[in-house]
Amino acid sequence: MRLQNKVALITGASSGIGRETALLFAQEGAKIVVVDINDAGGAETVSLIQEQGGEAIYVHADISRAADCEAMVQQAEEKFGQLNIMFNNAGIMHSRDDDAVNTDESVWDLTMAINAKGVFLGCKYGIPALRRAGGGSIINTASFVALVGAATPQVAYTASKGAVLALTRELAVVHARENIRVNALCPGPLHTELLMKFLNTEAKKHRRLVHIPMGRFGQAREMAYAALYLASDESSYVTGTEFVVDGGITAAYVTPE
User: Which amino acid type is present at position 38?
Assistant: N
Of 257, 182, 50, 45, the residue nearest 59 (C-alpha): 45
- Which of 58, 125, 157, 253 is labelled catalytic? 157
62-69: Cβ within 8 A, 24+ apart: 62/37, 63/11, 63/35, 63/88, 63/90, 63/114, 63/118, 63/119, 63/121, 63/122, 64/113, 64/114, 64/117, 64/118, 64/121, 65/121, 66/121, 66/124, 66/125, 69/118, 69/121, 69/122, 69/124, 69/125
Active site residue 157: yes
CA distance 109 to 95: 14
DSSP secondary-structure letter at 177? G
* Catalytic residue ranges: 157
